[in-house]
Amino acid sequence: MMVAVFFSILQNDTTYFGALVGRVANRIAHARFSINGTVYKLIPNDGNNTLHGFPGDLDVFVTYKIDYDYVFSVSMRAVPRNKPTPVNLAQHTYWNLGGHDGGTILKHSVQIFASHFTPVDKNLIPTGKIAPVEGTPYDFRKPMTAGSRIDHLPGGYDINYVLDSPTDVQGVRKVAIVEDRESGRVLELWANQPGVQFYTGNLLKDEKGKGGHHYKQHDGLCLETQDFPDAVNHPNFPREFDITNDYLKRRAIALIHPLFVEGSELFDVQGRRVATLYDVSSPQELELVRSDDKQADNVVIIFSGEWQVITAENTVAAFHGCKRTVLAVSTASSEAQVFLEALEQGLDGVVLKVEEIGEILKLKDYFDRRNEAGNLLALTKATVTRVEVVGMGDRVCVDLCSLMRPGEGLLVGSFARGLFLVHSECLESNYIASRPFRVNAGPVHAYVAVPGGKTCYLSELQAGKEVVVVDQSGLQRTATVGRVKIESRPLILVEAKENSGHETYSIFLQNAETVGLVCPYEADETTKTAIPVTSLKVGDDVMLRMQGGGRHTGIEIQEFILEK
């Protein structure tokens, strides 16, 4: 299965699928630059700027190579014939480790070995500054999913990173590691350029590619190793000018790591054992595996007994504090979930051995929900514009199988495009005991956020379904519904507007002191966590989740929709 996104035939297109872009990759501000005092004007093709676009003639030699070690390398050599010229060639490959038809790359884990980046203006032109990634959505020094903070950026990632990993004896440095946990594929990227442009396919719009598959936004990511963008106009950036008879050599290497099973052992492409398989049918055999420290550091256990839960808990306990990586072979997605959640900690992973693809998809959905936990949802501050007591309605109390802390609640609203953060009943009062498992969420018609970026109606919730619990900062986790109560109660209408927009968002809630909306987070500890709807007034600020409004069975779709 291919992991690079491309066209099956050569054709001209502005998506640059698999293209070698240049003579200067990325953008040149104002479509002009100077060399040795001579100003050169270019043809603008990206607003007032030039994209991927020079004096003199240039010979370019490019070699593409795939060898038996699953290494894909690109070597570039550029030689100017008669005049000095800027050269910044880049390989514009789109990667999707799930395959060319694998869908979005937002679940791909990405690590970029760079502690700084080059900020850009609204036209994506570098400002000339070199800024630290720390504390920004651009920080990928530790592995993060590509989509974990993408909502904080307009459209997605399209930014140059300043690489700072050391070079090896071949003069190349480690640039990035990308992993797709669903397929198990891992990509390592090495290059000798000083920068890499990380791009998340923001402008892909139903592009037809291999096998007739249509690529949509974020269906591929690019890691374009290069010199710094617009370096010709920023003296503080590293810049490459080639004079006659001189030449530029650039190299990028992509590594893909497969595994092979032989008998009871797993090997990598170099023939090194990376894991050992064990058959376990009793606690005594499990103890033998734990004490066998002469084998590989990675252990894959095949359990032949009928028990699942106790077996999983015994395995977690047996290997607690052990440095070895332990995985269990599971024959169903439900069994895999038991191994991954035993004693809260779970095993390090599972090997799914099934015949039905449906089991794989179920486990994929489970991992999607787990990966969402801990990621930040983009919440925005909205100002209340209307508070009005209305008539009776059937309101829904959602009781969860887990407890909520102050600042946590559910995302609920009359419109899917704007969901309010409704606080749980975890706060103490003089008149009623706290119920930290409950959210008095609103009437039956309202939307509520559920895992996978979806919504459902409150009336559709029932025991066993899952919802998304969110706190003031946007940190999310998944929780299971234990009970839903629908009762007739008096309602209050709340409307609010996001400060930078003109759209109005609304929610109906029970008119009671125990029902409240979460306030924006403030460092001042005296600031309230939530405002009861009975005290809510015009001008108060509450937390809102803005997203696409078009929905089909809870799934966001692109369509015209008017709600009021």
375 band by pLDDT with thresholds 50, 70 and 90: low
Which tens digits make up the pLDDT trace of 206-263?
A: 787 776 778 889 999 999 988 888 887 887 887 654 444 444 555 556 666 666 778 7
Q: What is the pLDDT of residue 19?
A: 67
At 141 the pLDDT is 93
Assess whether pLDDT exceeds 50 at residue 265.
Answer: yes
Note whether 162 and 116 are within 8 A (CB). yes
> Can you tell me the mean pLDDT for 140-166?
91
pLDDT band at 10 (very low <50, low <70, confident <90, very high): very low
pLDDT of residue 532: 93
Phi-psi map region of 554: left, alpha, beta (phi>0 left; psi -120 to 50 alpha): left
Instruction: Name all domains of the chain by residue range, CATH numbers in brackets.
Output: 4-256 (2.70.98.10), 262-372 (3.30.750), 380-556 (no CATH)
| 95-147 residue pLDDT tens | 898 887 788 999 999 999 999 999 998 888 889 899 999 999 999 999 999 99
- Stretch 427-440: mean pLDDT, rounded? 87
Integer Cα distance of 458 and 447 in angstroms: 6
pLDDT at 244: 41
Structure tokens at 394: 């059937």
What is the rounded CA–CA span in Å between residue 259 and residue 273? 10
Which of 148, 154, 138, 180 shows the shortest CA–CA distance to 453? Answer: 148
Percent of the chain having pLDDT more than 90? 31
CB 425 within 8 A of CB 436: yes
Taking all residues of the chain, what is their mean pLDDT, rounded to a whole number? 80
Do the beta carbons of residue 426 and residue 447 sit within 8 Å?
A: no
Angstrom distance (rounded) from CA 562 to CA 280: 59
Give buried/exposed letters for 218-238 (b at 16+ CB in 10 A, else e): bbbbbbbbbbbbbbbbbeebe
Decide: 407 and 518 in contact? Cβ < 8 Å. Answer: yes
pLDDT classification of 495: cutoffs 50, 70, 90 = very high
What's the mean pLDDT in 383-405? Answer: 94
pLDDT of residue 54: 65
Per-residue pLDDT at 522 = 65
State the pLDDT at residue 249: 58
pLDDT digits (tens, 9 = 90+) for 55-90: 667 788 888 787 756 777 888 787 777 677 778 788
Give the C-alpha separation, 345 to 261, whole Å: 28
**Integer Cα distance of 248 and 226 in angstroms:** 12
CA distance 41 to 478: 55
pLDDT at res. 383: 92
Cα distance between residue 105 and residue 98, in whole Å? 8
- CA distance readout (Å), 320 to 3, 324, 347: 36, 10, 9
Tokens 């936990």 locate to: 373
Q: What is the pLDDT of residue 284?
A: 76
Cβ atoms 250, 259 nearer than 8 A? no
In angstroms, rounded to a whole number, what is the distance separating the alpha carbons of residues 118 and 127? 7
DSSP element (H, E) containing 366: helix 357-372
Model pLDDT, residue 18: 62
What is the pTM assigned to this prediction? 0.44
pLDDT at residue 1, rounded to an integer? 29
Q: Quick one: three-class SS letters along 478-530?
A: EEEEEEEEEEEEEEEEEEEEECCCCCEEEEEEECCCCCEEECCCCCCCCCCCE
Where does the pLDDT of residue 91 fall: very low under 50, low under 70, confident under 90, or very high at 90 and above? confident
pLDDT bracket for residue 468 (50, 70, 90): very high
- DSSP-derived pairing of the beta strands 380-400 and 541-546: antiparallel
CB neighbour class for 202 (10 Å; exposed up to 12, middle 13-18, buried from 19): middle
For residue 266, what are the β-bridge partners? 261, 275
Outline where 397-436 has alpha helix (H): none
Q: Is the pLDDT of residue 553 over 60?
A: no
Are 192 and 173 a contacting pair, CB within 8 Å? yes
pLDDT exceeds cutoff 60 at 549: no
Return the pLDDT at 38.
Answer: 64
284-287, long-range: CB < 8 A, 24+ apart: 286/314, 286/315, 286/318, 287/318
Q: How confident is the model at residue 12, as a pLDDT?
A: 46
**Per-residue pLDDT reduced to its tens digit, 37-63:** 666 666 676 677 666 556 667 788 888
Long-range CB contacts (< 8 A, 24+ apart) of 48-54? 48/123, 49/123, 49/125, 50/24, 51/26, 51/27, 52/16, 52/21, 52/22, 52/24, 52/25, 52/26, 53/23, 53/24, 53/28, 54/23, 54/24, 54/85, 54/86
**Identity of the amino acid at 81:** R
Q: What CA–CA distance (Å, rounded) separates 6 from 94? A: 7
pLDDT at 340: 85
Q: What's the whole-number mean pLDDT along residues 508-536?
A: 83
Please state, for a pLDDT cut of 70, what percent of the chain lies above it.
78
Say what the pLDDT of residue 131 is: 92
- Concatenating the DSSP letter of every residue in 273-341 gives EEEEEEEE-SHHHHHHHHH-TTS-SEEEEEE-SS--HHHHHHHHHHTTT--SEEEEEESSHHHHHHHHH
The number of helix segments (H) and strand segments (E) in the chain equals: 4, 44
Catalytic residues: 92, 224
pLDDT digits (tens, 9 = 90+) for 286-304: 777 766 655 556 888 888 7
In which element (H, E) is residue 368 found? helix 357-372
**Better-predicted residue by pLDDT, 541 or 262:** 541
Give the model confidence (pLDDT) of 321-370 as tens digits: 777 788 888 888 888 888 888 877 788 888 888 878 778 878 877 777 66
Name which residue leads in pLDDT, 308 or 9: 308
